[in-house]
Amino acid sequence: MVSTMNLVLFSALLLFSLQTVVSVTPLPFQHPLDPLTKEEITLVQTIVQRKYPTFNNTLSFHYIGLDDPHKDTILKWESTKPTITTLPRKAFAIAIVNTQTHEILIDLQTKTILSDNIHNGNGFPTLSVDEQGVAIELPLKYGPFKESVNKRGLNLSEVVCSTFTLGWFGETQSSRTVRVECFMKESTPNIYVRPISGLTIVVDLDLLKIVEYHDGGIIPVPAADNTEYRLSQQKPPFGPKHYGLATHQPEGPGFQISGHSVSWANWKFHIGFDPRAGLVISLASIYDLEKHKSRRVLYKGYISELFVPYQDPTDDFFYKTFFDAGEFGFGLSTVSLVPNRDCPSNAQFLDVYVHAADGTPVLISNAICVFEQYGSILWRHTENGIPNESFAEARTEVNLVVRTIVTVANYDNIIDWEFKTSGSIKPAIALSGILEIKGVDIKHKNEIKSDQHGTLVSENSIGVYHDHFYIYYLDLDIDGVYNSFEKTSLKTVRVTDGSSKRKSYWTTETETAESENDAKITIGSTPGELSVVNPNKKTSVGNDVGYRLIPAIPVHPLLTDDDHTQIRGAFTNFNVWVTPYNRTEKWAGGLYVDHGHGDDTLAVWTKKNRDIKNKDIVVWHVVGIRHVPSQEDFPVMPLLSTAFELRPTNFFERNPALKTPSPRDVQWPGCRS
Ligand SMILES: *[C@@H]1O[C@H](CO)[C@@H](O)[C@H](O)[C@H]1NC(C)=O
Ligand SMILES: *[C@@H]1O[C@H](CO)[C@@H](O)[C@H](O)[C@H]1NC(C)=O
Ligand SMILES: *[C@@H]1O[C@H](CO)[C@@H](O)[C@H](O)[C@H]1NC(C)=O
Ligand SMILES: *[C@@H]1O[C@H](CO)[C@@H](O)[C@H](O)[C@H]1NC(C)=O
Ligand SMILES: [Cu+2]
């Protein structure tokens, strides 16, 4: 028996070469939600450059993505399956042209610009990778910085720098500036744990020059000892030891990918990709064996923003209040997956294209992987109650996972969407990578005299306190577009009339949210269940068909409401929000987050308190990881994860996995069962 769970000892590492590294088959046709192709990105570049020739304009692209066809158009297309040529294909670009931010909508079929508006509000677009590349070189050629490096006795050739967005602290005007921090790469590639602390370097990204510089005094750079994490550079002893572990699929994978459409077991869905959101899951439907049809669950889901506020108010750290999707781009920061490490040997991979600042397409190979994995037990029962006829019925759970990894500087975010035959979708997040370290002149905890705003994880190294708040956009369409949000509270009832020997019990009370204010949920304040139901569809016994949100462990913000950082990150004020579907409300922290004022957030939109009952609704779920660093997070941290579940609740007439057989048993050489 193959089991990944009980660590059966295999005598050798068995890997089967079922993996297809690039498996995108030629498209029979383009799905209307397919990400922009290499050719389409080039076309956007050409069309925009035609209007703003680069010989007399400065032009940089900060977003080039698909402008989805309208939802009703997609739904109509899906139900009638006409040819793709009848559907519009548009791209949306955000470009800075001569310091003005333009929002440009392009028709890719007629090759024309449909609209070109200038953004006059607060905040700036996502930074380009290219301008950050220029910014990090600037200190190395800057006299005062070289002096600071010399003064510290450091070798300039061993210095590398990185860009950090500056946030907003109440100023009315700001320019497109970033802080640049520098690190020592001498004797270790683990640069983030070796900051040259005490320097303030501000770069203007439009001017591409240092506009502010300050040396606050020498703080020792933490030593390189014990910061190496590459196995090739480690010295014995090694361990704990692993034995072989394999997934064997002699008949090939149980899923099919056609273009970007996936079908597996009872699920089908589409995999999209956006330079800002990264992975996008759309049109997820589950086949109902009894109703003989596919039923929609999720129209679209993705991570809308990731807010990472650090909790150190001192000069070196106060500004570290990052919005990784809006400022750096989850798609732009997606990395190539390492076969057999990031994804198992039975995974298939998809490539994607993003764009460079000049609009040139940039390939990210193996950006997404799809694989089946052993989960746990799908369901089971041992029947001991029938005399002389006891038996056990147990089914193996196999799940399908779609995975990407977004590495924004020091942190790696492992993003999974797991699909289960029992009808659940389980999105999960795991963090790995390197802590953000503050250099200090402290070698032992007993030298700490004041709050250091973090944990001393190694000599001279404080791992600063922070949170990671992800917010998921979940446009659920439970068996149809019109849904309601229900809150079921669990209430204690006291027995006072002597009718029972019990003094108390609990029961449920369900309330349908009428408007947005009814659906701002702080999880944990009262016991309850949250679900999205289709009030227009009922099971045969009369329940509304629905899906429950089993939330992640709730994390509540601890900053004050008047803190500028919290105003920008106000989408964390509640764990769950529900809004009526609105095409333009995509980014929970606002469209322009860099230096943004928090005037275009989910918290602002919902002030209208719009109706959400029996409407096309979107659920927003905040998934947080609070991070008080520990020594084990150093020099590289093991995965820290959290997940939530969308689980059918009276959606099916009965257990939809009742007739799901277990996978075929496989005998392995060297494995005793
Ligand atoms: C750039 O040149 C084009 C064509 O010569 C002209 O129409 C346009 O006004 C110029 N733009 C600027 C900003 O100078
Ligand atoms: C500085 O670093 C460079 C590049 O690693 C090296 O070649 C050089 O010898 C170093 N200089 C000193 C003084 O250590
Ligand atoms: C169960 O099996 C035992 C032993 O074979 C037998 O004595 C007993 O009568 C059986 N009980 C029933 C309910 O069949
Ligand atoms: C959609 O959202 C935008 C931004 O919140 C808002 O300006 C617009 O009025 C909304 N449209 C509708 C139809 O509610
Ligand atoms: Cu962290």
pLDDT single digits (tens) 450-464: 999 999 999 999 999
Query: In the chain, what's the furthest Cα-to-Cα distance?
Result: 90
In this structure, the residue with its CA closest to atom 13 of ligand 3 is: 387
Q: Note the pLDDT tens digit of each residue in 165-201.
A: 999 999 998 999 999 999 999 999 999 999 999 999 9
- Percentage of the chain lying above the pLDDT 90 cut: 88
Distance 525 CA to ligand 5 centre (A): 26
pLDDT, tens digit (0-9, with 9 covering 90-100), for 584-614: 999 999 999 999 999 999 999 999 999 999 9
Task: Answer for the pair 66, 272: CB distance below 8 angstroms, yes or no.
Answer: yes
Q: Is the pLDDT of residue 252 over 80?
A: yes
| Ligand 1 centroid from CA 113, angstroms | 17
Among the bound ligands, the one closest to the CA of 390: 3
Q: Is 53 in the pocket of ligand 1 (CB under 6 A)?
A: yes
Domain extents for the chain? 31-119
Flag the least confident range among 23-27, 138-142, 253-257, 433-437.
23-27
Which of 310, 411, 465, 472 is catalytic? The answer is: 411
pLDDT at position 250:
81
- Specify the residue with its C-alpha closest to ligand 1, atom 12: 56
Tokens of 540: 């045969």
**Shortest-distance atom of ligand 3 to CA 387:** 13
Query: Which residues 6+ apart lie within 8 Å of 498 measured at CB?
Result: none
What is the reported pLDDT for 23? 39
Alpha-carbon span 453 to 311, nearest angstrom: 6
Cα 168 to ligand 4 centroid, rounded to whole Å: 25
pLDDT over 60 (residue 508): yes
- pLDDT, tens digit, for every residue of 104-117? 999 999 999 999 99
**Rounded distance from Cα 596 to ligand 4 centre (Å):** 19
pLDDT of residue 398: 95
pLDDT at 6 over 60: no
Closest CA to ligand 2's atom 13: 155
For ligand 3, atom 1, the nearest C-alpha belongs to 388
- Cα separations in angstroms, 556 against 276, 465, 513, 572, 624: 25, 15, 22, 7, 8
Among the listed ranges 23-37, 39-53, 264-278, 658-672, which one has the minimum average pLDDT value?
23-37
Please report which ligand is nearest the Cα atom of 49.
1
CB-ligand 2 contact for 157 (6 Å cutoff)? yes
Q: Encode pLDDT of 301-336 as tens digits.
A: 999 999 999 999 998 899 999 999 999 999 999 999
Kindly state if the Cβ of 388 falls inside 6 Å of ligand 3.
yes
| 324 flagged as catalytic | yes
Average pLDDT, whole number, for the chain? 93
Ligand 3 atom index nearest CA of 388: 1
Q: How far apart are CA 596 and CA 123, in angstroms?
A: 4
Distance 387 CA to ligand 3 centre (A): 7
Q: Note whether 16 and 249 are within 8 A (CB).
A: yes
Task: Record the pTM.
Answer: 0.94
Q: How far is the CA of 583 from the centre of ligand 4 (A)?
A: 8
d(CA 339, CA 416) in angstroms, rounded, equals: 16
Residue 80 beta carbon below 6 angstroms from any ligand 1 atom: no
Q: Which atom of ligand 2 is nearest to the CA of 186?
A: 5
Could you report the per-residue pLDDT of 528-562, keeping only the tens digit for each?
899 999 999 999 999 999 999 999 999 999 999 99
- pLDDT of 507 higher than 70: yes
Residues 487-499 have a mean pLDDT of 95
Give the binding-site residues of ligand 4, using a 6 Å CB cut-off: 582, 584-585, 605
Q: Which atom number of ligand 4 is nearest to the Cα of residue 580?
A: 14
Could you tell me the pLDDT band of residue 498, with boundaries at 50, 70 and 90?
Answer: very high
CA 582 – ligand 4 centroid, Å: 6
What distance in Å separates the CA atoms of residue 249 and residue 51, rounded to the nearest whole number? Answer: 53
- Fold of the CATH domain 31-119: Nuclear Transport Factor 2; Chain: A, (3.10.450)
Ligand 4 atom nearest the C-alpha of 610 is 14
pLDDT bin (cut points 50, 70, 90) of residue 242 is: confident
Q: Is the pLDDT of residue 13 over 80?
A: no
- Alpha-helical segments (H) within 347-432: none
Q: Give catalytic status of residue 441 as yes or no.
A: no
Q: What percent of the chain has pLDDT above 70?
A: 94
What separation in Å is there between the alpha carbon of 158 and the centre of ligand 2?
7
Kindly state if the Cβ of 54 falls inside 6 Å of ligand 1: no
Q: What is the pLDDT of residue 248?
A: 79
pLDDT at 316: 87
| CB-CB contact of 7 with 245 (8 Å) | yes
Return the pLDDT at 74.
94
In this prediction, residues 234-262 reach a mean pLDDT of 88
Query: 629: which residues sit within 8 A by CB, 6+ positions away?
Result: 435, 454, 455, 457, 463, 464, 465
> Does residue 9 carry a pLDDT above 50?
no
Confidence at residue 671, expressed as pLDDT on a 0 to 100 scale: 63
14 backbone dihedrals φ, ψ, rounded to 5°: -105, 115
- Statement: residue 673 has pLDDT above 60: no
Cα separation of 308 and 589, whole Å? 12
- Say if ligand 3 is within 6 A of residue 143 CB: no
**What confidence category does residue 1 fall into, taking pLDDT thresholds of 50, 70 and 90?**
very low
- Protein residue with least CA distance to atom 11, ligand 2: 155
Residue type, 420: K
For position 588, what pLDDT does the model report?
Answer: 98
* Ligand 1 contact via 56 beta carbon (within 6 Å): yes
pLDDT tens-digit series, residues 558-589? 999 999 999 999 999 999 999 999 999 999 99
Ligand 1: residue whose CA is nearest its atom 1: 56
User: Is the CB–ligand 1 distance for residue 57 below 6 Å?
Assistant: yes
